[in-house]
């Protein structure tokens, strides 16, 4: 495991890691708000809306993410919806993670005591004021550990994009390994994933601390 070999393949690995990170951030930016909106729908009183969203969650959680990637990239063009590889990956990831987040948030929403809503109502706060100022801040604290799990999963799930031909971190390692017949690239790939997850864990811990100001 020579230093010169490592410095030779690191740039390509970092390039792959760059794509992994981009995918990671865009997925979070899209799927967290999607999860919030869907969870509000899942707890609403409108039955047809609930059925529709239950179907969505069932589909997304009931089929492998790998299969969903394949469907979005190779299947949707058959009905006239064409995505670039990168966009297809982000689209599929947002839909998939949005469903998981929605279920996590639903649990959080249902754990908010009804008295909180009644207090808000007699103080004449509107529905959205109540959601924004009373409910979401409390739900965030409750769901943080579960969301953290998903966030860490996402770092590693992003490696699935190889199936539609995108060059992420793991694929960069794959290429180097099969070319040079050595496991060194894989060791480096593992180390980079560990580093990324380490950073995520640290940030999540800090966020959890920030919300520990009450009980």
Under the rule (CB under 8 A), what is the footprint of other proteins? 113, 115-116, 118-119, 121-126, 129, 133-134, 137-138, 141, 213-215
Question: Closest by alpha carbon to 91, among 149, 38, 37, 161?
Answer: 161
Write down the least CB distance from residue 160 to other proteins, Å. Answer: 37
Dihedral sign computed on CA atoms, order 175, 181, 185, 187: positive
| Nearest residue (CB) to other proteins, 32 versus 125 | 125
Question: Closest by alpha carbon to 70, among 51, 92, 98, 50?
Answer: 92
What span, in angstroms and rounded, lies between the C-alpha atoms of 208 and 24? 20
| Nearest residue (CB) to other proteins, 84 versus 121 | 121
Write down the least CB distance from residue 51 to other proteins, Å. Answer: 26
For residue 4, CA distances in Å to 127, 138, 186, 189 come to 61, 52, 16, 17
| Nearest residue (CB) to other proteins, 79 versus 124 | 124
For residue 73, CA distances in Å to 176, 194, 206 come to 26, 29, 37
Write down the residue that tokens 């994009």 correspond to: 161
Write down the residue that tokens 């495991």 correspond to: 1
| Nearest residue (CB) to other proteins, 77 versus 137 | 137
Write down the least CB distance from residue 132 to other proteins, Å. Answer: 9
Write down the least CB distance from residue 47 to other proteins, Å. Answer: 20
| Nearest residue (CB) to other proteins, 46 versus 123 | 123
């Amino acid at each position: 495991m020579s230093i010169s070999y490592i410095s030779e393949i690191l740039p390509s690995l970092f390039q792959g890691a760059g794509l992994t990170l981009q995918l990671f951030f865009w997925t979070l930016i899209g799927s967290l708000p999607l999860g919030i909106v869907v969870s509000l729908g899942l707890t609403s009183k409108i039955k047809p809306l609930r059925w529709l969203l239950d179907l969505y969650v069932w589909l997304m959680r009931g089929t492998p993410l790998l299969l969903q990637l394949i469907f979005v990239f190779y299947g949707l063009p058959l009905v006239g919806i064409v995505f670039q590889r990168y966009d297809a990956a982000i689209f599929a990831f947002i839909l998939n993670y949005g469903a998981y987040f929605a279920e996590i948030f639903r649990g959080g929403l249902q754990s908010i005591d009804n008295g909180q809503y009644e207090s808000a109502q007699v103080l004449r706060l509107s529905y959205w004021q109540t959601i924004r100022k009373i409910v979401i801040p409390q739900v965030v604290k409750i769901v943080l550990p579960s969301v953290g799990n998903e966030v860490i999963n996402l770092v590693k799930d992003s490696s699935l994009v190889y199936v539609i031909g995108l060059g992420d971190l793991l694929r960069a390692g794959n290429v180097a390994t099969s070319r040079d017949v050595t496991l060194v690239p894989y060791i480096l790939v593992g180390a980079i994933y560990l580093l990324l997850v380490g950073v995520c864990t640290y940030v999540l811990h800090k966020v959890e601390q920030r919300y520990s100001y009450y009980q």
